[in-house]
Amino acid sequence: MTDRRDFFKSFSKPLRQTKEDSPLLVRPPYGGSESLFQSKCPGCESKACVASCDEKIIFIADDSTPTLSFKQNGCTFCDACADACEEDVLSLGNDETATWLNAVFKISLEACVAHHGVICHSCKEPCIDDAILFNGMFNPVIDDQKCTACGFCISRCPTQAISYEVLPLKNEENEV
């Protein structure tokens, strides 16, 4: 039994990845550039950003940098992670990224029950930005202009029809 369980668990583990092949991560809000995450976070001993998050969505990734997981909750943009960051990687002075996460959310037309005639507003209810719009009672879409990528909709969807694509943060050499 254990052998079969281990066999199936192996499918959920990512393949070995080089640094160049590593996936982009959803970063906590108030972050400046990816190069700051890569240069300062691995040496941070306190990992205060993780402890400060009341929603418990900040985790330390394999590369020792903070990332977000929306499996249980979303980001309230409460400022606690930025206040706790001793390395100033997360800073309230980063105005352009203050209430923005580096992700774009999408609703799968195939997986969403509302797109198949079932009344379901599970994703809309937690959306405080009114970024999820319905065509009548059905057919929800995410308004990219309003969506802050907070992630609350992901854990609320009963069919896991909401996914996201991670956007790259700017690097210092790309900054103006």
- DSSP characters over 123-143: TTTT-TT--EEEETTEEEEE-
Question: What integer pLDDT is reported at residue 137 of this predicted model?
Answer: 87
Q: Is the pLDDT of residue 88 over 80?
A: yes
* Domain boundaries of the chain, sorted by first residue: 24-101, 104-168
Q: Is the pLDDT of residue 85 over 80?
A: yes
Question: What integer pLDDT is reported at residue 136 of this predicted model?
Answer: 85
Question: For the whole prediction, is pTM greater than 0.95?
Answer: no
Question: What integer pLDDT is reported at residue 93 of this predicted model?
Answer: 78
Q: Which residues of 118-128 are buried (b: 16+ CB within 10 A; e: fewer)?
A: eebebbbebbe
Question: What integer pLDDT is reported at residue 174 of this predicted model?
Answer: 45
pLDDT in tens, 135-147: 888 999 999 999 9
Q: Which fold has domain 24-101?
A: Alpha-Beta Plaits (3.30.70)
Task: Give the CA dihedral 14, 20, 23, 25, nearest 10 degrees.
Answer: 130
pLDDT in tens, 3-38: 555 544 444 444 333 334 446 799 999 987 889 999
pLDDT in tens, 97-111: 556 789 999 999 999
Domains 24-101 and 104-168 share a fold: yes
Q: Is the pLDDT of residue 96 over 90?
A: no
Question: What integer pLDDT is reported at residue 24 of this predicted model?
Answer: 78
Determine the CATH number of domain 104-168: 3.30.70.20
